[in-house]
């Protein structure tokens, strides 16, 4: 209070004719303006005028009418991303109705003042991306409504206070990228029943991982404890966490075998990397190998004794051992032959595992983990080998034996141009039996690489899933390469969401239909990642590559085409060749836009595609279905209106759909300001929409290691609305 009086006296001396009309909240905010170095961006406070009656029209300030008070009171302070240098004044603690404090992305230094937590209405504190130091004040949990605390990427130090157990309303605790150290206290986590996100990564925590972290029943997304100094075994209790939780335990000193219970079954190997003494599935390091290495030094005397004892074996015993060895070898050989012929005779796929994917192969319901149906397409493989020597002559090869037609039938059929991209021109062709197919022209080159082309085609042809477009046949000739696929009748997701230029169709998808499309697409991508023979990376997920049938059943298309184009090595839009004379060539085509669905790391020249690229792109597609806005239109007026400040940094953020959505959640904007207006008609869908938003934001994390696997994304979506 003395500091506040001194500050008020300072203002009085600076202005001999003061205007006493400014409210007490306004005077407290002027302390923040004075705490910022004058060398910083002055425009951040250009309209913070002490002569105003209240601060409610100042940039970054939100107010609300409170019962019992004649003047509106300050409930939100947002001065973020301005690179401001200064400190956090204790006077902000006098804003007793302040709910949200957002000062992230500046250069604030010093400690977090204890007096700040006198603002008892605070429920969201965002101070990440500054230079704050000192310890985490124990009084932080004196805030009864605290829900969001993000202090990441500062220089805070000290231990984690056990008083955190009193933050019973806390939903997000993000302390990554600081200098915190010591052991994480036991006994506090069962009390945090509402905790949804926990990120303690990139600190100096040590000791063992508390087993009672497994009691965080509301946790979702990623439990991030990576880049610390944790030691000991991973507690089996973590397996009790919800199955939607992903682990990130990289770069610690953990030892022993990775547990296999509960949630551990859904984790990939990246969750446990850089722990040299960790072993077991899903790492490629057997715990038996580890024990063998540790005991290698003790085995030498034993081997010496065994060798010495063998020297004294009797001839009869040697013969008996030899006969037993021969019998064992014969038995193993019989088993191998039996398994070989069983697999050869099998007409369906061998599927084992637990998690049902929902697809069927050969009348069997295939499970998730072992559903690479390698026998599919074997007959066409044999056919390709027979045709290999005649690759120069031109061959129409059926991938699916039950789907065949003659080359002249394709030549006589009527063809309609569906579109063109960098992956070739696509035609709709109606065969003589009335069946429509989609034909994609790949180009003229690659005449000497038939076997390579055919091998790649066979890998694509083996992919059979109800949410993936089926490849039925292909045509090869030195001057023409064609792919024949199923024709999907109802356009693509981009048209369904936005319509085509000059047409009114599109934008009328109900929430249930959008959720159905999202679930089906996720299943198809998960199959490509986990179950396809090549563990395919699609590399180009976007709404135009998600096709829809008459019942809005989704089909993922165009996977594997980049590799085929590189083999042919020519312009897919070229028009020469035998088939080129039959199928119309279009010179005027729409220029393809820059791909705004690509992951940040995918935009680096020379980078290799990964499955996490697909996860990010799918997350953008989810955001587009939720908001009704494509990445290209993210600078629309409606998006601009949502930005609360007029700073250049805010304008830069508007151009990015991911940042726009994250900013909306950070500032607790109403859901009605972010979702497609069409979805507001379905009031009952609010919880489902929020759940899908969380899935999409997890997919679009900037760090690819933090993004979930596509299988986890699919599982999470399948639980929504069921």
Please write the tens of the pLDDT for every residue from 240-274.
998 778 889 999 999 999 998 888 877 777 789 89
Span 420-439, mean pLDDT? 74
Return the bridge partners of 396, or none.
Answer: 475
Rg of the chain over CA atoms, in angstroms?
A: 32
Per-residue pLDDT band at 653 (split at 50, 70, 90)? very low
Residue 327: which pLDDT band, with cuts at 50, 70 and 90?
low
DSSP state for residue 36 in the 8-state scheme: B
Measure the CA–CA gap between 407 and 417, rounded to whole angstroms.
Answer: 19
Cα(337)–Cα(57) distance, rounded to whole angstroms?
82
d(CA 551, CA 512): 12
| Residue 407 banded pLDDT, cuts 50, 70, 90 | low
Specify the DSSP class assigned to residue 428: E
Which pTM does this prediction carry? Answer: 0.56
Cβ density class 206-241: b for 16+ within 10 Å, e for less: eeebbebbbbbeebbbbbbbbbbebeeebbebbbbb
Q: What residues form DSSP beta bridges with 85?
A: 107
Lowest-confidence region among 91-95, 592-596, 683-687: 592-596
Q: Which residue has the higher pLDDT, 645 or 46?
A: 46
The length of the chain, given as a count of residues:
722
522 neighbors 554 (Cβ within 8 angstroms): no
Q: What are phi and psi of 148, to 5 degrees?
A: -125, 120
What is the separation, in whole angstroms, between the first and last Cα of the chain? Answer: 55
Provide the pLDDT confidence category of residue 703 given band limits of 50, 70 and 90: confident
Q: Inter-axis angle of helices 450-461 and 561-568, to 10 degrees? A: 170
Share of the chain above pLDDT 70, in %: 69
- In the prediction, which pLDDT does 328 show? 63
Domain boundaries, the chain: 60-279
Residues 6+ positions from 35 with CB-CB distance below 8 Å: 86, 87, 88, 89
User: For every residue of 596-630, which 3-state class applies, written as one string?
Assistant: CCCCHHHHCCCCCCCHHHHHHHHHHHHHHHHHCCC
Residue 436's pLDDT is 83
Given this model, what pLDDT does residue 607 score?
78
Question: Looking only at Cα atoms, what is the longest distance across the chain?
Answer: 117
Distance CA 77, CA 61 (A): 5
Does 6 score more than 60 pLDDT? no
Per residue in 14-34, pLDDT tens? 554 444 578 889 999 999 999
Two tokens, residue 4 = 């506040």
pLDDT reported for residue 254: 95
Tokens read off for 195: 């905790």
> For residues 669 and 654, what is the distance between their CA atoms, to the nearest angstrom?
15
Q: Which residues contact 224 (CB under 8 A, 6 or more apart)?
A: 176, 198, 199, 200, 201, 248, 706
Q: What is the pLDDT of residue 490?
A: 87
Q: Which of 147-161, 393-407, 583-597, 613-627 has the lowest mean pLDDT?
A: 583-597
CB–CB of 228/253 below 8 Å? no
For residue 339, pLDDT over 90 is answered with no
> In the predicted model, what is the mean pLDDT of residues 519-545?
88
The whole-angstrom separation of Cα 545 and Cα 336 is 43
Q: State yes or no: cis peptide before 255, omega within 30 of 0.
A: no
Strand pairing report for 197-199 and 222-224 = parallel
Average pLDDT, the chain: 76
User: What mean pLDDT comes out for the span 56-82?
Assistant: 88
Q: Which of 628, 565, 560, 632 has the alpha carbon at shortest distance from 594?
A: 632
Q: What is the pLDDT of residue 500?
A: 66
Which segments within 245-372 are labelled E, that is strand? Answer: 246-248, 253-257, 277-279, 356-361, 364-367
Name which of 311-315, 422-426, 639-643 the model is least confident about: 639-643
Query: Residue 590 has what pLDDT?
Result: 40
| Span 193-205, average pLDDT | 92
DSSP 492: B
What is the average per-residue pLDDT within 641-651?
A: 36
Supply the pLDDT for residue 242: 85
Chain Cα centroid distance, residue 482: 34
Cis ω for the linkage preceding 136 (within 30 of 0): no
Q: In the predicted model, what is the mean pLDDT of residues 110-116?
A: 93
Burial of 702 (0-12, 13-18, 19+ CB in 10 A): exposed
The residue among 555 and 386 whose pLDDT is bigger is 555
Catalytic residues: 540
Would you state the pLDDT for residue 388? 42
CATH code: domain 60-279 is 3.80.10.10
What percent of the chain has pLDDT above 90? Answer: 30
């Amino acid at each position: 209070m003395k500091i506040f009086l001194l500050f008020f006296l300072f203002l009085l001396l600076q202005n001999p004719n003061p205007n006493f009309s400014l409210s007490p909240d306004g005077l407290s905010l002027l302390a923040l303006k004075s705490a910022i170095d004058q060398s910083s961006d002055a425009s951040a406070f250009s309209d913070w005028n002490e002569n105003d009656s209240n601060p409610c029209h100042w940039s970054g300030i939100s107010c609300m009418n409170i019962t019992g008070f004649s003047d509106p009171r300050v409930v939100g302070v947002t001065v973020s991303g301005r690179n401001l240098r200064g400190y956090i004044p204790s006077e902000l603690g006098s804003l007793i109705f302040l709910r949200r404090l957002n000062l992230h992305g500046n250069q604030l230094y010093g400690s977090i003042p204890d007096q700040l937590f006198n603002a008892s209405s605070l429920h969201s504190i965002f101070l990440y991306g500054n230079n704050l130091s000192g310890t985490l004040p124990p009084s932080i949990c004196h805030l009864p409504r605290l829900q969001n605390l993000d202090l990441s990427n500062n220089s805070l130090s000290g231990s984690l206070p056990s008083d955190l157990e009193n933050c019973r309303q806390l939903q997000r605790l993000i302390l990554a990228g600081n200098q915190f150290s010591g052991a994480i206290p036991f006994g506090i986590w069962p009390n945090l029943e509402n905790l949804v996100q926990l990120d303690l990564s990139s600190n100096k925590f040590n000791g063992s991982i508390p087993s009672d972290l497994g009691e965080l029943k509301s946790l979702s997304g990623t439990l991030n404890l990576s880049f610390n100094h944790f030691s000991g075994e991973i507690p089996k209790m973590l397996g009790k966490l919800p199955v939607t939780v992903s682990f990130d335990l990289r770069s610690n000193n953990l030892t022993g075998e990775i547990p296999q219970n509960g949630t551990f079954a859904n984790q990939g190997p990246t969750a446990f990397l850089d722990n040299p003494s960790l072993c077991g599935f899903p790492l490629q390091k057997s715990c038996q190998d580890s024990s063998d290495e540790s005991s290698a030094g003790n085995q030498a005397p034993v081997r010496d004794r065994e060798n010495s004892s063998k020297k004294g074996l009797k001839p009869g015993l040697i013969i008996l051992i030899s006969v037993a060895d021969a019998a064992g070898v014969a038995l193993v050989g019989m088993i191998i032959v039996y398994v070989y012929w069983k697999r050869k005779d099998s007409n369906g796929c061998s599927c084992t595992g637990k998690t049902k994917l929902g697809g069927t192969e050969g009348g069997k319901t295939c499970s998730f983990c072992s559903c690479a149906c390698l026998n599919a397409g074997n007959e066409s493989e044999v056919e390709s080998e027979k045709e290999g020597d005649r690759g120069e002559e031109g061959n129409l090869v059926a991938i699916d034996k039950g789907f065949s037609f003659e080359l002249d039938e394709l030549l006589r059929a009527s063809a309609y141009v569906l579109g063109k991209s960098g992956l070739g021109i696509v035609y709709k062709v109606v065969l003589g039996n009335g069946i429509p197919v989609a034909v994609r022209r790949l180009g003229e080159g690659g005449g000497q690489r038939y076997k390579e082309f055919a091998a790649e085609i066979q890998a694509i042809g083996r992919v059979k899933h109800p949410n993936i477009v089926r490849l039925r046949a292909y045509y090869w000739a030195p001057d023409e390469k064609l792919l024949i696929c199923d024709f999907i009748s109802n356009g693509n997701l981009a048209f369904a969401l936005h319509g085509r230029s000059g047409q009114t169709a599109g934008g009328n998808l109900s929430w249930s239909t959008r959720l159905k499309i999202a679930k089906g697409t996720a299943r198809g991508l998960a199959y490509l990642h986990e179950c396809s023979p090549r563990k395919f990376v699609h590399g180009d997920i976007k709404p135009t590559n998600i096709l829809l049938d008459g019942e809005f059943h989704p089909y993922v298309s165009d996977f594997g085409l980049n590799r085929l184009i590189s083999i042919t090595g020519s312009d897919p839009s070229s028009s020469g060749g035998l088939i080129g004379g039959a199928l119309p060539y279009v010179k005027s085509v729409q220029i393809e836009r820059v791909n705004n669905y690509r992951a940040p790391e995918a935009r680096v020249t020379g980078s290799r595609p990964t499955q996490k690229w697909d996860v990010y792109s799918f997350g953008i597609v989810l955001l587009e279905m939720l908001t009704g806005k494509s990445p290209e239109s993210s600078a629309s007026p409606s998006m601009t209106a949502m930005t609360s400040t007029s700073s250049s940094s805010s304008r830069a953020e508007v151009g990015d759909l991911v940042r726009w959505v994250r900013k909306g959640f950070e500032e607790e904007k109403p859901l009605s300001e972010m979702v497609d207006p069409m979805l507001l008609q379905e009031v009952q869908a609010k919880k489902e929409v929020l759940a899908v938003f969380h899935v999409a934001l997890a997919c679009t994390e900037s760090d690819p290691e933090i993004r979930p696997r596509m299988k986890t994304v699919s599982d999470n979506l399948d639980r929504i609305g069921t």
